């Protein structure tokens, strides 16, 4: 029996479709050693903090606490600034204050964003202690205030766990 190229292609196609329909045996997921490793020096995230967005004026400012741990050397916040009409070249380090309801207040020590443009994001950091006393000690609420970003003042308030 002589086979034509078309019938050979047909047989190959049938074999291929049959192989595709077969269920493969269940395989355990491959996990690298790096994925299984636990970094004991990495900070442990104990709480997920709410992102607060203030849309005063022509600038939207979204702030998310990253680290509000009593053990940390700094209290860090992710800040995202968005606008279509205002130049965002200001230095938030000079415009921001962090105040706890225990009366302690600190000014920012780092704003790591690249300034300028209409979409800016970065980390705003504050010292975790004020005059040798932890900012968060005895506090139940924390307020981040930023002045002069197309509005006289913006305030962001988070409740702290007890």
Fold assignment, 52-159: Immunoglobulin-like (2.60.40)
Domain ranges, ordered by start, for the chain: 52-159
Query: Which tens digits make up the pLDDT trace of 86-101?
Result: 889 999 999 999 999 9
Q: For the chain, where are the alpha helices, taking DSSP H only?
A: 5-21, 33-36, 92-95
Structure tokens at 129: 């202690």
* Residue 7 pLDDT greater than 60, yes or no: no
Cα–Cα distance measured from residue 14 to residue 78, given in angstroms and rounded to the nearest whole number: 56
CB-CB neighbours of 131 under 10 Å:
7
Q: Output the CA–CA distances (angstroms, integers) from residue 123 to 28, 30, 114, 132, in the order listed.
A: 39, 35, 11, 23
Give the pLDDT confidence score for residue 45 in this predicted structure.
Answer: 46
Q: What is the pLDDT of residues 54-111, one digit of tens each?
A: 999 999 999 999 999 888 999 999 999 999 998 899 999 999 999 999 999 999 999 9
What distance in Å separates the CA atoms of residue 110 and residue 123, rounded to the nearest whole number? 8
């Amino acid at each position: 029996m002589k086979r034509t190229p078309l019938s050979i292609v047909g047989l190959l196609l049938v074999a291929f479709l049959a192989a595709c329909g077969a269920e493969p045996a269940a395989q355990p997921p491959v996990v690298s050693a790096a994925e299984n490793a636990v970094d004991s020096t990495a900070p442990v995230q104990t709480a997920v903090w709410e992102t607060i967005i203030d849309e005063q004026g022509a600038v939207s400012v979204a702030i998310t606490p990253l680290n509000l741990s009593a053990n940390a050397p700094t209290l860090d916040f992710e800040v995202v600034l968005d606008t279509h009409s205002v130049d965002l070249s200001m230095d938030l380090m000079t415009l921001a204050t962090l105040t706890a309801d225990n009366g302690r207040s600190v000014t920012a020590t780092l704003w790591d964003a690249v300034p300028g443009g209409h979409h800016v994001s970065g980390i705003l950091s504050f010292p975790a202690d004020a005059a040798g006393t932890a900012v968060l000690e005895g506090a139940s609420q924390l307020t981040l205030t930023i002045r002069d970003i197309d509005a006289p003042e913006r305030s962001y308030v988070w409740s702290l766990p007890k």
